[in-house]
């Protein structure tokens, strides 16, 4: 099975090289790994102790971030090596100030894993949520370097739990400890003989609570909102935007609207602007003279988490694609949340719907019914808002549980 695995890694990397000239993300993925050994060697400080933290992408980084910050606070003598698999994580966080070295994870080949681990020689390694690279994990295991998985979440349809999943089950057995988000994940792992497991919860709750405590004011958004209520569509995609835009065009004066699209290139912003029959303005072009616009489009990055504080209701995109983006960021502000139908893999979405702090919509009719209810019925709105905020507050503390074990 290991031969097939390594062949798959080779094929994946070969395809990335082939399509790199024609695909921006693949090009970044390939270029970021060129000459990785020499680049990393030049950054390693001899005699220093390293803790290696690996994240697939930006979402996993946000889950790992509370642990990174706790390590830097409690063990400042250790240096942090932060690796990413995806360009979408690396490009946004490549200048993260609390990591001493930030780079791409090399292709998971036996040779790369051996060279990487021997060069870094980490005191411990921490993988976030979904990362199960056999050659790196096996290399750490052979050298008896403690390896932890944090904020893990498991589902019965994953390879680990299939009759043919023995190879992947062995990978799980090489972790020193696996910290999972919920009891269901723990029971699934125990059923296949993985007992080095603890339920710690999801570190994202700690992160969003921290963000809320450190949020920055955005004066332009306050002036745009004025005395009206505001709806914020965060990390929105085309299907979400088309449904929300239809509602705006039908009820133009009911509140102010802000869109923070997932893609902020000019072509996508122009497409979004054409959806509205009401006046819209881009955030970077906003002045007091354009405060009468009904829609604001955030054409920059890094402000969404702070922007939610100005909203009364939020929608989070991705639910008509592979899955929703971060719904905890608005929920921590006690804001009821809407999202599309593909949320089943996200425990927080399932929980919030069960608690009536969030709702899912499949089409325009669903969206219209939900929004009209929350706008017209103050009791229903307050109930949803309170339960959203309570859910985040009650689930904090995963970082402390993890730190007691690994430090």
In a shared domain, residues 184 and 273 = no
Cβ atoms of 208 and 66 within 8 Å: the answer is no
Q: What are the C-alpha distances in Å from 164 to residues 133, 160, 294, 298, 343?
A: 18, 8, 55, 47, 27
CA distance 296 to 258: 5
C-alpha span between 187 and 178 (Å, rounded) = 13
Question: Is the same domain home to 122 and 222?
Answer: no
CA neighbor of 180 nearest in space, from 133, 130, 146, 138: 130
Mean pLDDT within 199-203: 94
pLDDT for residue 20 is more than 80: yes
Label residue 288 exposed, middle or buried (CB < 10 Å: 0-12, 13-18, 19+). Answer: exposed
DSSP bridge partners of 83: 54, 103
pLDDT grade, residue 395 (50/70/90)? very high
Read off the tokens for 316. Answer: 């989070």
Q: What is the pLDDT of residue 329?
A: 93
Backbone angles phi, psi at 399, to 5 degrees: -60, -45
Over 90: is that where the pLDDT of 29 sits? no
What range defines the domain where residue 77 resides? 44-210+397-406
Task: Give CA 219 to chain center in angstroms.
Answer: 26
Within this chain, do residues 130 and 113 fall inside the same structural domain, yes or no?
yes
Residue 72 has what DSSP assignment? Answer: H
- Position 51 scores a pLDDT of 97
Q: Is residue 20 part of a domain?
A: no
pTM over 0.85: no
Residue 329 lies in a domain: yes
Pair (232, 173) in one structural domain: no
Alpha-carbon separation of residue 76 from 48, 49, 72, 73, 159 (angstroms): 12, 10, 5, 6, 38
Structural domain total, the chain:
2
Region 206-220 average pLDDT: 86
Q: CATH number for the domain including 379?
A: 3.40.50.2000
Local structure of 405: helix, strand or coil: helix
* Element (DSSP H or E) covering residue 196: none
Is residue 249 domain-shared with residue 377, that is, in the same domain?
Answer: yes
181 and 293 belong to one structural domain:
no
Q: Is 338 found in the same domain as 242?
A: yes
Task: Calculate the alpha carbon distances from 213 to 206, 289, 335 in Å.
Answer: 11, 32, 16
């Amino acid at each position: 099975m290991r031969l097939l695995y390594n062949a798959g890694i080779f094929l994946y990397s070969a395809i990335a090289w082939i399509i790199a000239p024609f695909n921006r993300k693949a090009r970044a993925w390939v270029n970021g790994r060129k000459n990785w050994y020499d680049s990393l060697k030049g950054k390693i400080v001899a005699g220093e102790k390293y803790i290696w933290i690996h994240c697939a992408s930006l979402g996993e980084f946000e889950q790992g971030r509370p642990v990174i910050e706790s390590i830097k606070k409690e063990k400042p003598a250790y240096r942090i090596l932060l690796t990413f698999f995806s360009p979408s994580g690396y490009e946004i966080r490549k200048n993260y100030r609390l990591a001493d070295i930030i780079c791409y994870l090399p292709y998971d080949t036996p040779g790369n894993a051996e060279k990487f681990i021997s060069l870094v020689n980490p005191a411990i390694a921490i993988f976030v949520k979904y990362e199960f690279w056999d050659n790196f994990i096996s290399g750490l295991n052979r050298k008896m370097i403690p390896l932890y998985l944090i904020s893990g979440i498991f589902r019965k349809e994953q390879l680990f739990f299939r009759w043919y999943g023995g190879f992947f089950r062995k990978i799980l057995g090489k972790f020193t400890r696996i910290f999972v988000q919920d009891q269901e994940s723990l029971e699934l792992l125990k059923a296949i003989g993985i007992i080095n497991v603890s339920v710690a919860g999801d570190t994202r709750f700690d992160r969003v609570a921290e963000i809320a405590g450190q949020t920055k004011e955005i004066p332009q958004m306050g002036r745009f909102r004025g005395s009206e209520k505001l709806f914020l569509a965060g990390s929105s995609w085309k299907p979400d935007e088309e449904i929300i835009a239809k509602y705006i065009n039908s009820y133009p004066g009911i509140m102010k609207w802000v869109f923070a699209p997932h893609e902020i290139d000019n072509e996508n912003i122009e497409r979004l602007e054409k959806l509205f029959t009401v006046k819209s303005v881009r955030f970077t072009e906003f002045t007091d003279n354009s405060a009468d616009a009904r829609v604001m489009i955030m054409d920059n990055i890094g402000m969404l988490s702070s922007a939610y504080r100005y909203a009364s209701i939020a929608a989070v995109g991705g639910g008509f694609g592979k899955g929703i983006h971060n719904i905890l960021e608005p929920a921590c502000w006690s804001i009821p949340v809407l999202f599309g139908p593909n949320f089943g893999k996200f425990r927080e979405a399932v929980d919030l719907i069960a608690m009536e702090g969030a709702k899912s919509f499949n089409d325009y009719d669903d969206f219209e019914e939900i929004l009209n209810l929350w706008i017209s019925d103050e009791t229903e709105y307050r109930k949803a808002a309170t339960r959203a905020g309570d859910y985040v507050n009650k689930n904090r503390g995963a970082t402390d549980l993890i730190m007691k074990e690994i430090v």
